[in-house]
């Protein structure tokens, strides 16, 4: 029971210069647009510092009403520029973004959008 009270799972969708974050347990959703572009013509996250600052801002906004929040388990999902899959560098970039935003564990997902139940299923083994 205690584990459900402190559960903190976040599903992050990465779009061109924008993140959509959803806290699975509460259902709260936040969308954050980067004040300066982090997407380049070739990469969804081509400017790491701008993306990092934007994602951190989104995580703060997502958790601002919670009086206690453990470090989240994150599923981060690139929604654009995934033709032919991700390179190891692109996958590592997404993992580093999640870690920088406070994730204790993270999973990079490439595929169709996930429901809340599918996010929970993906994170159960983590």
Above 90 in pLDDT, residue 70? no
Condensed to tens digits (0 to 9), the pLDDT of residues 72-92 reads 999 999 999 999 999 999 999
Domain spans in the chain, listed from the N-terminal domain onward:
2-114
pTM for the full predicted model = 0.92
Q: Strands 18-23 and 9-15, how do they pair?
A: antiparallel
Whole-angstrom Cα distance, residue 5 to residue 70? Answer: 10
**Which pLDDT band holds residue 2 (cuts at 50, 70, 90)?**
very low
- Residue 65 in tokens: 């009403």
Above 60 in pLDDT, residue 3? no
Specify the CATH number of the domain 2-114. Answer: 3.30.420.40
- Beta-carbon neighbour count of residue 84 at 10 Å? 5
């Amino acid at each position: 029971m205690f584990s459900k009270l402190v559960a903190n799972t976040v599903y992050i969708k990465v779009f061109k210069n924008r993140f959509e974050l959803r806290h699975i347990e509460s259902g709260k959703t936040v969308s954050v647009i980067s004040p300066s572009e982090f997407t380049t013509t070739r990469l969804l996250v081509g400017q790491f510092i701008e993306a990092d600052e934007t994602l951190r801002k989104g995580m703060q906004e997502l958790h601002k009403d919670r009086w206690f929040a453990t470090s989240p388990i994150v599923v981060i999902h690139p929604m654009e520029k995934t033709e032919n899959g991700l390179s190891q560098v692109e996958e590592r970039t997404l993992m580093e973004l999640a870690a920088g935003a406070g994730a204790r564990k993270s999973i990079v997902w490439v595929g169709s959008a996930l429901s809340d139940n599918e996010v929970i299923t993906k994170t159960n083994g983590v």
